[in-house]
Amino acid sequence: MKSQRNISEFILLGLSYDQNMQIFCFVLFLFCYVALLAGNLLILVSIQCSPLFHQPMYYFLSHLSAMDICYTSTVTPKLIADLLVERKTISYSNCMLQVLTMHFFGGTEIFILTAMAFDRYAAICKPLHYLLIMNRTRCHLLVLAAWAGAAVHAFPLFSTAISLPFCGPNEIDHYFCDIFPLLKLACTDTHIIGVLVVAFSGMFGLVVFIVLFVSYGIILFTLRNMSAQGRRKSLSTCGSHITVVILFFGPAIFIYLRPPTTFPEDKIFALFYTIIVPMFNPLIYTLRNSEMKKAMRKFWCPLLFSNEAHS
């Protein structure tokens, strides 16, 4: 690839040029990242160390928490570190790696959200056959399919990125490397490539979003036949899932399902699916979930009290 490029690094323009704003963003995103790690690790450990792990919904939730940590860690630590320096650079190889890992972990998260929707559909619409439909083997296969689907999504975008020729301009008007900002820098006609990226990446997100939307529509329609208590519990669970889907897919579809170009607002929208949604996922999934809160109290309270007794 060296014959097609004469740059070894890119300059990231980041979120803002204002020094005071950068300090504010550093404090804010450092807090968000620590809260994200703590919240998702709390869910991950609580589920792994409780009987909830054997329930399909919580099995998928533990994988979603792991993906939240992996996905946001491809972008956020670099963003936080760059807020403390004047010249924000990223090497060519790290930039390409960021494109690959971000789309791979993001794609895995999307497919796990789809598996969670299927799990809720089976639990609410097919309750008598739920344990048969969502047996542990099928759960493993769905997670494996999520990883495979993410690879199918990420590797063509990665191949596109590493095949682009870069001749001079190396300033990326973003806080991470992504396919559209790289297309803007390439010293070749990228119109057809851009259309293909939109067709592949944007349509991928839109189709999955429509599938999820229809699935939850069917689930909500089925709730009419349930008792008031069952309806309340199912609405609470599905409400959490629907909130996450809208917060994650809304900004992502806005960025990837449009003519291949970039806007300054893209950086703000990208914050939603790279930092904000992964940070709020633990709150969204635990605040109204009595089983999750009970499992967390059962696991963590004895540990805290035993530490106090020893001290």
Residue 91 forms beta bridges with which residues? 9
Specify the pairing of strand 9-12 against strand 171-172: parallel
> What angle (nearest 5°) sits at the alpha carbon of residue 216, between those of residues 256 and 113?
55
Which pLDDT band holds residue 138 (cuts at 50, 70, 90)? very high
Continuous segment of H or E residues that includes residue 204: helix 203-222
Q: Could you give the 3-state DSSP secondary structure of residue 142? A: helix
Give the DSSP letter of residue 5: B
pLDDT tens, residue by residue, 93-123 = 999 999 999 999 999 999 999 998 899 889 8
Out of 26-30, 130-134, 224-228, which region has the weakest mean confidence (pLDDT)?
Answer: 224-228
Out of 36-40, 121-125, 305-309, which region has the weakest mean confidence (pLDDT)?
Answer: 305-309
Total structural domains in the chain?
A: 1
Buried b (16+ CB within 10 A) or exposed e, 259-271: ebebeeebbebbb
What is the pTM for the complete model shown?
0.86
Of residues 304 and 129, more confidence is placed in 129
Alpha-carbon separation of residue 15 from 33, 88, 108, 178, 275 (angstroms): 16, 11, 27, 15, 14
For residue 8, is it within any domain? no
For residue 204, is it within any domain? yes
CA distance 293 to 143: 25
Show the domain range for 249: 16-306
Task: Please state, for a pLDDT cut of 70, what percent of the chain lies above it.
Answer: 92
Q: Could you give the 3-state DSSP secondary structure of residue 6? A: coil
CATH number at residue 128: 1.20.1070.10
pLDDT at 1: 40
Give the DSSP letter of residue 77: H
Q: Are the beta carbons of 185 and 169 closer than 8 angstroms?
A: yes
Neighbours of 70 (CB within 10 A): 18
Directed axis angle between helix 19-48 and helix 277-286, to 10°? 40
CA dihedral 149, 150, 156, 160 (to 10 degrees): 160
Continuous segment of H or E residues that includes residue 54: none
For residue 10, is it within any domain? no
Q: Are the beta carbons of 161 and 102 closer than 8 angstroms?
A: no
In terms of Cβ atoms closer than 10 Å to its own Cβ (0-12, 13-18, 19+), residue 151 is middle
Q: Is the pLDDT of residue 3 over 50?
A: no
For residue 228, is it within any domain? yes
Q: Is the pLDDT of residue 220 over 90?
A: no
For residue 153, is it within any domain? yes
pLDDT tens, residue by residue, 242-283 = 888 888 888 888 887 777 666 777 888 888 888 988 888 888
For residue 277, is it within any domain? yes
Continuous segment of H or E residues that includes residue 224: none
Q: Are the beta carbons of 84 and 57 closer than 8 angstroms?
A: no
Task: Please state, for a pLDDT cut of 90, what percent of the chain lies above it.
Answer: 34
Of residues 51 and 64, more confidence is placed in 64
For residue 5, is it within any domain? no
Alpha-carbon separation of residue 53 from 60, 126, 136, 216, 295 (angstroms): 9, 21, 11, 23, 10
State the average pLDDT for the chain: 85
For residue 6, is it within any domain? no
Which pLDDT band holds residue 213 (cuts at 50, 70, 90)? confident
